[in-house]
Amino acid sequence: MQNYLLSISIWTPIVLGLVLLCSNQTSQRFSRYFALSAGLISFGVTWPIAMRFDLQSQLFQFQEFFHWILPYRINYHLGVDGFSVPLILLTSFMTLLVIFSTQKSDIKNLPHYHAAFLIMSGLMIGVFCALDAILYYIFWEAMLIPMFLIIGIWGGPNRIYATIKFFLYTVLGSLLMLVAFIYLYLNTGSFSIFDFYQLPIALPAQILIFLSFFMAFAVKIPMWPVHTWLPDAHVEAPTAGSVILAAIMLKLGGYSFLRFAMPIAPDATWLLKPIIIALSLIAIVYIALIALVQKDMKKLIAYSSISHMGFVTLGIFMLSPLAVEGGYMQMISHGFISAALFFCVGIIYDQTHTRQIDQYGGVINSMPFFAAFAVFFAMANSGLPGTSGFVGEFMVIMGAMKEGFWIAFIAALTLLFGAAYSLWMVKRVFYGTPLNKTMESLKDIDSIQWLTLGSLAILILVVGLFPSIITDFTNVTVDSFIHLMNRSKLPIL
Amino acid sequence: MMNLAININALIPEIIIATSAMLVLLLGLFVKDKNNHLIYGVSQITLLLAAMLVAHSGFGPTYRVFNDMHIIDPAGNFLKLLSFIATSFVFLYSRSYLRKKQLLNGEYFSLTLFALLGIMLMISGANLLMIYLGLELLSLSLYALIALNRDNLDATEAAMKYFVLGALASGLMLYGMSMIYGLTGSLDLQVIATHLAEMNLDPSIMAFGLVFIVVGIAFKFGAVPFQMWVPDIYHGAALPMTMMISSMPKFASVALAARLLFQGLEPLAVDWQQMLLIMAILSMILGNITAIAQDNIKRMLAYSTISHVGFMFFGMMSGTINGLSSTFFYVACYALMTLAAFGAIITLSQKNKDFDQLNDYKGLSQRNPMMALMIMIIMLSLAGIPPTIGFYAKFSVLQSAIEVGMVWPAVIAVLMALIGMFYYLRIIKLMYFDSPSSLQKIHFSGDLLFILGINSFSLILLGLSPKLLMSLAALAVGLSF
C-alpha cells in the first residue's frame, strides 16, 4: 500500500517555493501572504505523518518506491521511522516560524528569501525520508545551495568568506561519503540502505567507510575539530538563516549517523567509539570554555550549539538505549532552544545593530517582556529542569554513568559551563543600568515576535515536562537501532 | 563482400553533410542575402536530415563498409547524433553574435559542416587511415574557423598556435600509427587487435607506437601534459569558435580514444590504462587549481575543460565497457554544459564588448535575474552538484573507477572536484553577492534567451531523470564494444 504523504511533504514546499521564486513580485503584500500560507500548508501536510504513524512498528512506514535511474538501480525510495518523524515536524515548523517572524521585516527581495527557506525545507525533509543512498545524497547536497545563497545574499559584512567556507567544508565531507556509497553499491548491487545494512564488510573496509561517513556528518554536526565553519556561518547568516542552520541543519548530521554511518559499519563504530566519545567530550568542555570568552552574542550561541551537539554525539555513540534516546532528545531540544536564542539576538540586533555584549546593558528596563523570554531561553540552554534542555542532558549523563564515572563527570561539567556562559551573557546584556541612550529607547517585542518566542517557549516547556511525546516516537526505533548495532557485520570466514 | 548499394546507403549522412557544406559555400557567394537566412536554414535542415537518418539506423546491427574502412555501430550513431545536436546549438547561439561581428558568411557554415564531416569520419573510422583523414579534416577546418576573424590579433595568434601544435600532434600520432602498422602489417583496427594479441611482437616497438598514439589522443583532448594550447586558443578565438572547439570535437576525441584504445590497441590495455590514469589525475589537479587564478571567464572555462577531460580519461582508464559508457555519458553531459556556458557568455556579449571578464558578472542578479539564475544552474552543473546532470556525469565515472578497485584515485578525483567547486561558486558569488559595477542595461535578443533557457533547464531536467541518457550511452557502448 502506498500513500504519498512523504512525497507531498517534500514537494509541497519546494513547488510553492519555486512558484514564489518565479511569481511576479509587484505586490509585496500578496507575496508575503503567499509565503506565509505556503509555510502553513507545508506544515499542515507534515502533520498526518505524525498522526498516522504507528508507534509500535519497527518497520519503515509510509514507504514509497519507484524505479528511478535503472542502469544504476537507484530508486525513489522514501520511508520514515521514529528517528525521522520528529525531525520532519521540527523542519516544517521551523520553516513556518521563520517565514512568520519575517512577515513585517524590510529584508530586500523578501519573496526570494522566503522561497529559499521553503525550498530548503522540502529538501531537508527529503533527507529525513530518503531510504536510497543516492536520493539521500542528492537532497543532502541540493540543500546546500539555498543555504549558500541565504548566507551569501542576505548575510552580514563578511558573508562571502563565511558562505564559501560553509559550502566547501560541507561538500568536502559529503564527496567522500559519495565514494563510500559507490563502494557499497558495487558490493551490494543497489543503493538501498536496507541492502547496506545486510552487507557483511571486513573490518578495514568498515573503518574506511565509517571514516568517510564520519567526515561528512562530523562536519555537519559539527564536531570538534571540524567545527570552525559554524561560528563564521552563524555570525554572518541572517537571523532566519541562523535559526534554520542551528535548529535543523546540524541535526542532519546526527540523524545521518544514526541512519547511515553506525548501522552500516557497526563493528567500526564499536572500535572507534572511544575516539568519538573523546571528541564529543572535548567539544562539550573545550567549546563551552570558548563560548565563555566570546564578545559577540551570536558567536557565543554558535559555540554553545557546538557544545550541545557534543552531547548528541556523546549520547548516540554510547550505544545504550537510554543514551541514544537522550542524544536524540537533545537534538530536538537544541532545535527549539538554539532557534529561540537566535531569534532573540535577531530581535535585539535589528534595533541596535550590534551584537557585541559590551555594547549592551539594562535592556530589561526598556524591553521587559523580551527580557523575560530571553532569560527563560538562556535558562533552558543551561539545562534548567522542567525545560527540554534538561531532559536530553540528563538522559545522556545517566547513560554516561553506566559507561564510566569520568565520562559522566566531564559531560556534567557542561551544566556548569552552560549556566556560566548563558547566564553571564544574560546578566551583562539585560541587567544593570542602561548603558546609553539607545538602550533606553529600545522598543519591546511586537505581536509577531510575541507569538514566535511564545510558541517556542511553550514547546520547550511541553517537551521538558512531557518528554514522552518525543520518546514515544523513538522508543521502538531506538530498540531496533541498538539491535542493529549489536550484530557484527564482519564476514564469516 | 557487401554490394555497392548498401555501401552508399551507409554513408548517406556523410554525403549529405559534405554536399551541404559545398552548397552553403556557393550559396554564400552567389545569393545576395543580407542576413544569410538562406544558408543558415540550409545548414540547420541538413543537420536535421542527417540526424534523422542516423537516428533511423540507431541501435541497429554493426557493420563495416568500403572494404572495412568505415564502421556503422550504435556507439558511433550515438556520438554522431550528439554531434549534430551540438552543431545545431552552435549555429543557434552563434548567429546573432557573428552577424554583429560581420563574420556570418558562407565560409563559416561551410567550414563548420566540414569540421562536422571530419568528426563523423573519425567516429566511424575502422581503419587508421580513415581516422587520420577525419582528424585532419576536422583540425584544418578548425584552424581556418579560428582564423576567420582575421582582423583580430588574438584570433590570428590563436589560429597560428593551434595550427603549429595541432600539426605536431598529428605528426606524433601518425608516427605512432606507422609503428603499429610496421608491427602488424595492417591499418585495419580489427586486424591490428588480433595481431597484437596473437603474435609475439617486439614489446619495445609496441610501446613506442602506443605512447605516440596516446600522446596524439591526449593532445586532441587537451589533457595534461599536452594542454598548453587549450587556454590560449579558448581565450584568443572568437566566442562562437571557442564554443565550437569546446563542444563538438570532444565527441570526435572520445570516438578516437574508443576506437584506437578499446578496439585497435585493446590488447595493450594494461599499458595505456596507466598512462590515462596519470594524465587523468594530472589534468584534474592542474585544471582545477589553475582555473582559480583566472580572471577571464573563457580562460577559466578552458582550465575547467582540462579538468573535465581528466574525468573523461578517468572513465576510460578503467578499461571496462562500463567505464567507456560512463565516458560517453560524461561527454554528452559535458557538451550540454559547455554549450550552455558559452551560450550564456554569447547572449550577454554586447556589440563592442564581450562579456568575458569575471568582473563583468558582478551583480548580474540585480541587472538581470533570469540570466543570473540560468548561469547559476550551469555553474552548479559544471561543478557537479545535484540535482543537475553534472553530478550524474561525475557519479558514473567515479562508479566505473571504483568498480575496478581504483578507490584512492577516486578519492583524489573527488577532492579535485571540491577544489573545482570553488571557482564555479565564485561566479555565483559575483552574480549574487556582489553589487554591480554598472547598472547599464544589457541588451540581448529574446530568442537567444529562449535557447539558453532550454539548454540550461535541460541540465536540471536531465538531472531529475538521467535514466534516458545513461541508458542510451550504456546501450550504445554495450552493443558496439
Contact state of B385 with A69 under an 8 Å Cβ cutoff: no
Contact state of A71 with B403 under an 8 Å Cβ cutoff: no
Whole-prediction pTM? 0.87
The pLDDT assigned to B183 comes to: 87
The pLDDT assigned to B116 comes to: 94
Q: Among A70, A113, A138, which would you mutate to test the B interface (most chain B Cβ atoms within 10 Å of its Cβ)?
A: A138
% of chain A with per-residue pLDDT over 90: 3
Contact state of A138 with B391 under an 8 Å Cβ cutoff: yes
> Dihedral angle at the C-alpha atoms of A311, A316, A319, A321, nearest 10 degrees?
90
CA distances from A316 to A320, B42, B243, B407 (A): 8, 68, 53, 30
Q: Is A167 on the interface with B (CB under 8 A)?
A: yes
Q: What is the DSSP string of A19-87?
A: HHHHS-TT-HHHHHHHHHHHHHHHHHHHHHHHHT--TT--S-EEEEEEEEEGGGTEEEEEEE-TTHHHH
The pLDDT assigned to B1 comes to: 45
Domain tally, chain A: 1
Full residue range of the structural domain in which residue A150 is found: 5-485
Task: Decide if A430 is inside a domain.
Answer: yes
For residue B371, give how far its alpha carbon lies from the nearest alpha carbon of chain A (Å).
13
Reduced 3-state DSSP string for chain B: CCCHHHHHHHCHHHHHHHHHHHHHHHHHHHCCCCCCHHHHHHHHHHHHHHHHHHHHHCCCCCEEECCCCEEECHHHHHHHHHHHHHHHHHHHHHHHHHHHCCCCCHHHHHHHHHHHHHHHHHHHECEHHHHHHHHHHHHHHHHHHHHCCCCCHHHHHHHHHHHHHHHHHHHHHHHHHHHHHHHHCCCEHHHHHHHHHHCCCCHHHHHHHHHHHHHHHHHHHCCCCCCCHHHHHHHHCCHHHHHHHHHHHHHHHHHHHHHHHHHHCHHHHHHHHHHHHHHHHHHHHHHHHHHHCCCEHHHHHHHHHHHHHHHHHHHHHCCCHHHHHHHHHHHHHHHHHHHHHHHHHHHHCCCCCCCCEHHHHCCHHHHCHHHHHHHHHHHHHHHCCCCCHHHHHHHHHHHHHHHCCCHHHHHHHHHHHHHHHHHHHHHHHHHHCCCCCCCCCCCCCHHHHHHHHHHHHHHHHHHHCCHHHHHHHHHHHHHHC
Task: Decide if A491 is inside a domain.
Answer: no
Over range A121-126, report the average pLDDT.
91
Contact state of B415 with A153 under an 8 Å Cβ cutoff: no
Q: pLDDT for A366-395, tens place per residue?
A: 888 888 888 888 888 888 888 888 888 888
For residue B403, give how far its alpha carbon lies from the nearest alpha carbon of chain A (Å).
6
The larger pLDDT score, comparing residue A23 to residue B100, is at B100
B113's grid cell:
559542416
Question: Which residues fall within 8 angstroms of residue B192, CB to CB, at 6 or more apart?
Answer: B128, B180, B184, B186, B264, B265
Q: pLDDT for A55-114, tens place per residue?
A: 888 888 888 888 887 777 888 888 888 888 899 999 999 999 888 888 777 777 788 888
**Block means of pLDDT (10 residues each) for chain B, length 481 residues?**
62 91 88 79 91 86 84 90 93 88 85 94 91 93 89 88 91 91 88 84 84 91 88 90 91 91 85 90 91 89 92 90 91 93 89 82 84 90 88 89 86 87 87 80 81 90 86 87 80
Q: Is the pLDDT of residue A309 over 70?
A: yes
**Burial of residue A333, with CB atoms counted within 10 A of its CB: 0-12 exposed, 13-18 middle, 19 or more buried:** buried
The pLDDT assigned to B4 comes to: 52
Q: Which residue of A has its CA nearest to B322?
A: A71
Over range A294-313, report the average pLDDT.
87
CB nearest A183 (choices: B392, B395, B402): B402
CA angle in degrees (0–180, nearest 5) for B216-B217-B221 = 120
Reduce the DSSP state of residue A192 to 3 states and report it. Answer: strand
Domain boundaries, chain B: 4-480
Task: Decide if A278 is inside a domain.
Answer: yes
Q: How far apart are CA B119 and CA B125, in angstroms?
A: 10
For residue A176, give how far its alpha carbon lies from the nearest alpha carbon of chain B (Å).
7
User: How do A74-80 and B63-65 pair as beta strands?
Assistant: unpaired
Residues of chain A with C-beta less than 8 angstroms from the C-beta of B425 = 148, 164, 167-168
Q: pLDDT for A335-366, tens place per residue?
A: 899 999 888 888 888 888 878 877 777 777 78
Q: How far apart are CA B172 and CA B183, in angstroms?
A: 17
CA angle in degrees (0–180, nearest 5) for A177-A179-A183 = 115
Reduce the DSSP state of residue A157 to 3 states and report it. Answer: coil
Residue A356: CB atoms within 10 Å: 10
Residues 54-83 of chain A whose Cβ lies under 8 A from any Cβ of chain B:
68-72
Q: Is A133 on the interface with B (CB under 8 A)?
A: no
Per the CB < 8 A criterion, the answer to whether A243 and A251 are in contact is no
Reduce the DSSP state of residue A133 to 3 states and report it. Answer: helix
Q: How far apart are CA B135 and CA B119, in angstroms?
A: 7
Complex confidence, ipTM: 0.78
Task: Decide if A276 is inside a domain.
Answer: yes
Residues of chain A with C-beta less than 8 angstroms from the C-beta of B380 = 145
The pLDDT assigned to B115 comes to: 94
The pLDDT assigned to B433 comes to: 82
The pLDDT assigned to B6 comes to: 61
The pLDDT assigned to A24 comes to: 63
Q: Is A168 on the interface with B (CB under 8 A)?
A: yes
User: How do A61-69 and B63-65 pair as beta strands?
Assistant: unpaired
CA angle in degrees (0–180, nearest 5) for B294-B297-B303 = 60
Handedness of CA A429, A430, A436, A440 (dihedral sign): positive
Contact state of A72 with B422 under an 8 Å Cβ cutoff: no
Contact state of B425 with A167 under an 8 Å Cβ cutoff: yes
The pLDDT assigned to A2 comes to: 62
**Length of chain A (residues):** 493
Contact state of B421 with A167 under an 8 Å Cβ cutoff: yes
Residues 317-356 of chain A whose Cβ lies under 8 A from any Cβ of chain B:
none
The pLDDT assigned to A481 comes to: 86
Over range A26-44, report the average pLDDT.
83
CB nearest B418 (choices: A71, A72, A175): A175
Contact state of B410 with A179 under an 8 Å Cβ cutoff: yes
Query: How many beta-carbon pairs below 8 A join chains A and B?
Result: 87
Q: How far apart are CA B387 and CA B61, in angstroms?
A: 35
